[in-house]
Amino acid sequence: MVEYKNIAIYYDMNGKLIGVPCGKSPRHGDNGTVQLDIFYELEHGYNDDELEFFINKVFDACYTKIPIDGEPTAIQNYTKKRGYVAAVKGYQYMSIYWSKGHGYTFRPMQVDKKHKGAFMAVKGQLSINVTKHNKHIPLEKGALALAFRKAKEIIDETNLS
């Protein structure tokens, strides 16, 4: 059983979401991951049920493909742009982690103004704990959507300042 998964969610100015699952990195050892060349889209106007289904579908695709070392990044393939800076221009980004025994962690990212085209973590992160004494507790309906919306709000507010 997989003990750790992470996904990337990019979104554009129109609110369209692009979900990218991660898989084992061929060059970063046992704990390294890389975004896979698999994309899920969710158009703006989604409700909480659609958002949670989308997030879970992206998580389900983690580790379903073996990436080829040296290929362009997943977002470059999605946008069909040559460089990473060009590929992420106009997008915002968050990482969502899941680990067995700890649950979900939403990590809002902001554009790093010092390093053109890069993202850095916004101070603080949102966590949803889904374990209690190592026993799995199902998430309440709407919990993933609420955490996503809070992380998105943090990103949007941070990038405006």
Residue 62 sits in a domain whose CATH number is 3.40.1590.10
- Which tokens go with 120? 């850095």
Predicted local confidence at residue 79, as pLDDT: 92
Instruction: Give residue 137's identity as a one-letter amino acid code.
Output: I
CA distance 86 to 44: 23
Query: What are the angstrom distances between the C-alpha of 127 and each of 72, 77, 136, 144, 158?
Result: 31, 30, 15, 10, 18
What is the model's pLDDT at position 30? 67
Q: Is the dihedral of CA 58, 59, 63, 64 positive or negative?
A: negative
Domains in the chain, number: 1
Which of the four pLDDT bands, split at 50, 70 and 90, describes residue 155?
A: confident
- Reported confidence tier of residue 17, pLDDT bands at 50, 70, 90: very high
Three-class secondary structure assignment of 17-56: EEEEEEEECCCCCCCCEEECCCCEEECCCCCHHHHHHHHH
* Cα→Cα distances 109→31, 53, 56, 132, Å: 21, 22, 20, 28
Domain range for 35 is: 4-160
What pLDDT digit, counting tens, does each position of 36-89 carry? 999 999 999 999 999 999 999 999 999 999 887 777 888 899 999 988 888 888
